[in-house]
Amino acid sequence: MSHATGFRRRIRLGPGAEFDLISSLLDRDGDLPPEVVVGPGDDAAVIEGGRLVLSCDLAVEGVHFRRDWLSPREIGYRAAAGALSDLAAMAATPLAALVSYGLTPEDLRTGIARDLQEGIDEACHAVGAAVVGGDLSRSTTLVIDVVVVGRAEAPVLRDGARVGDEVWVTGRLGRSGAALRRLLRNGPSDEVARSVYARPEPRVREALWLAERADLHALIDLSDGLGGDAGHVAAASRVGIVLEAARVPLDPLVAEAAENGRESLDRALSSGDDYELCLVAAPGAVEGLAAGFESRFSLPLTRVGRVVEGQGAYLDVGDGEPVPLRGSGYDHAAPSEPGPG
């Protein structure tokens, strides 16, 4: 099954310490009520018989953003973009957002929240979501939690990939990670890197366009890098996913900075926060849409791999057996996985 159709299911996350913790925290309810179609583990939760999609994204100063790199408006924009990307990952139409602010005493004096909110409004309005409520508190660190609500008659989950399917991605990968590396090296005076880093675009319209035109078996946004996120899809669908190294579309920013092609590829596969989409569909189901997609969104749509029997994500570099991709982009210490069955 590629779509939520009213029954309850749980999604298995790929390996990685962070995912284990989230999973163990949230996945303890033995019985979810019947209204809950998809519980913890997918990009977003689905309730109300599959109609309503919910997700939240917490941004913390010093972890997700630095004030010396971004303007308050950009910080707000990025916080909302992260949550909205989770709706894109379910092919849901954004409807509303709520925002909780933890502001330092200094923030309360300077009125920074107004600028943060402008950025949040901008990201939300660009995809049709209204900011309908929120909360506000004093805090010792600036934190912003954005909760988004979307509607989807048939949300596309992570668990529908089938052996033989094709794996596709939107855009060119590694852009956000390359910008981050340049910022770490050059500081915010690197205006190219700063502007890329400040304005990730959640692929909301792209996801809706694709889901309307193809029977997508699985969909995810690249928040942990294609390597990690392909692993999440593989785990949820109980299949293996082989990525073909030569097909992965690299952003020019990655290639420019890397020593060689293999380093570019590794970086692109582990670049978090790219917000591009990875989609899985039957052979031939997406091919005919690529030209129309590119002309509509000025973004490539590229086949990067295939679904095989087994478990986990693999990289095929063209010189023999595909090799396991270790863990996610975030947790490189995760143990390697068994090979395809």
> Please, are residues 101 and 134 in contact by the beta-carbon 8 Å criterion?
yes
d(C-alpha 81, C-alpha 124), whole Å: 8
Smallest gap from residue 96 Cβ to a copy of itself (A)? 5
Kindly write out the interface string for residues 133-172 of this chain, putting x where it contacts a copy of itself by CB under 8 A and - elsewhere.
xxxxxxxxx-x-x-x-x-x---------------------
- Residue number, 147 or 317, with CB nearest to a copy of itself: 147
Q: Is 35 in the site for a copy of itself (CB under 8 A)?
A: yes
Q: Say which DSSP state 189 is in.
A: T
208 Cβ neighbours under 8 A, 6+ residues apart: 91, 93
Q: Is 333 in the site for a copy of itself (CB under 8 A)?
A: no
> Please, are residues 19 and 335 in contact by the beta-carbon 8 Å criterion?
no
Smallest gap from residue 213 Cβ to a copy of itself (A)? 25
d(C-alpha 341, C-alpha 298), whole Å: 39
- Tell which positions 4-23 bind a copy of itself, by CB under 8 A: 18, 21-22
Bridge partner residues of 38 (DSSP):
9, 46
d(C-alpha 309, C-alpha 315), whole Å: 14
d(C-alpha 65, C-alpha 63), whole Å: 6
Q: Is 302 in the site for a copy of itself (CB under 8 A)?
A: no
Q: Is 39 in the site for a copy of itself (CB under 8 A)?
A: yes
For a copy of itself, how many residues bind (rule: CB under 8 A)?
60
Q: Is 98 in the site for a copy of itself (CB under 8 A)?
A: yes
Cα 13 to the center of its chain, rounded Å: 13
Kindly write out the interface string for residues 175-214 of this chain, putting x where it contacts a copy of itself by CB under 8 A and - elsewhere.
----------------------------------------
Smallest gap from residue 77 Cβ to a copy of itself (A)? 15
Which listed residue (5, 7, 24, 338) binds a copy of itself by CB under 8 A? 24
> Please, are residues 13 and 232 in contact by the beta-carbon 8 Å criterion?
yes
Three-state DSSP class for 305? strand
Smallest gap from residue 252 Cβ to a copy of itself (A)? 31
Which listed residue (1, 130, 184, 333) binds a copy of itself by CB under 8 A? 130
d(C-alpha 65, C-alpha 175), whole Å: 17
Smallest gap from residue 131 Cβ to a copy of itself (A)? 6
Which strands make up the sheet holding 277-281, listed edge to edge?
A: 216-221, 277-281, 166-170, 301-308, 240-244, 312-316, 323-324
Which listed residue (29, 263, 309, 321) binds a copy of itself by CB under 8 A? 29
Which listed residue (62, 284, 320, 335) binds a copy of itself by CB under 8 A? 62
Q: Is 96 in the site for a copy of itself (CB under 8 A)?
A: yes
- Residue number, 69 or 293, with CB nearest to a copy of itself: 69
Choose the binding region for a copy of itself from 112-120, 197-205, 228-236, 280-288 (rule: CB under 8 A): 112-120
Q: Is 71 in the site for a copy of itself (CB under 8 A)?
A: no
- Strands, E assignment, the chain: 36-38, 45-47, 52-60, 93-103, 130-138, 143-151, 166-170, 216-221, 240-244, 277-281, 301-308, 312-316, 323-324
Q: Note the residues at the interface with a copy of itself (CB under 8 A).
A: 18, 21-22, 24-26, 28-29, 32-33, 35-36, 38-40, 44-45, 47-48, 52, 54-60, 62-64, 95-96, 98-102, 108, 113-114, 117, 121, 128, 130-141, 143, 145, 147, 149, 151
